[in-house]
Amino acid sequence: MKSKTKLQRVDYAFRRDQVLSANIGEFLRIYDPTRLRPFHLRCLFGRLRLAIEDVMECEDAATIPEARKLILTLHAAWPWAGFFLNLDRPFGSSTTLGALPILAYAMCLVDMRLVACDRTRQCALHLDGGQFRKFGDQCFEAIDTLGERAEIPPEVLAGRKDAVAQQLDRILQTP
């Protein structure tokens, strides 16, 4: 039987040792949806705040190789961020990408290239649009799959999809 405190945790901070080893075992023991009852899924719907110790207050996880590796490992085993992640609480610095948590999470999952032009003194960040769209599709699938299991009304799930899309569209609308 799960302890009451673990089921009510809505903030999870990955410790430095977990980040360096990409160890997600403890996280999965708490938040694996196959182990959660429908009631607990409803309680966690859109409420989970992720953080990475020593990184998240001053930088974006997408700029830290170890943090990117951790999120890649996490997403491969737990593709449910679209359902669980709190979209109102920063994932990283609230003054950068972290202010849009699902976008900041997605940026850890996609290949990026920085292009700098010396003559024009301009820089551009290019990301893999296919990978980015695939992540969006996975978010919507997670919302549908877990939302149905948690018996969340369709109109609430539609609202969640809209909120996720608004954050992700920040990148998709920018050339």
C-alpha–C-alpha distance, residues 56 and 157, integer Å: 28
**Looking at the 3D structure of the chain, how many domains does it have?**
1
C-alpha–C-alpha distance, residues 134 and 137, integer Å: 5
pLDDT value of position 172: 56
Element (H, E) at 52: strand 49-52
Copy the structure tokens of residue 126. Answer: 């290019």
pLDDT value of position 2: 42
Domain housing 38: 4-172
How many CB atoms within 10 Å of residue 116?
Answer: 9
pLDDT value of position 175: 44
- DSSP secondary structure, 102-126, as one string: HHHHHHTTS-EEEEEETTTTEEEEE
Copy the structure tokens of residue 117. Answer: 């032009």
Tell me the pTM: 0.86
- Per-residue pLDDT of the chain (175 residues), as tens digits, is 343 434 557 999 999 999 999 999 999 999 999 999 999 999 999 999 999 987 766 678 888 899 999 999 999 999 999 999 999 999 988 888 889 999 999 999 999 888 887 788 888 778 888 999 999 999 999 999 999 999 999 999 999 999 999 999 887 555 4
pLDDT value of position 173: 56
pLDDT value of position 3: 39
Backbone angles phi, psi at 85, to 5 degrees: -65, 135
Q: Among all chains, which residue has been given the structure tokens 């919507």?
A: 140
3-state percent breakdown (helix, strand, coil) of the chain, nearest 5: 55, 15, 30
Contact between 58 and 93 under an 8 Å Cβ cutoff? The reply is yes
pLDDT value of position 56: 62
pLDDT value of position 57: 64
pLDDT value of position 120: 83
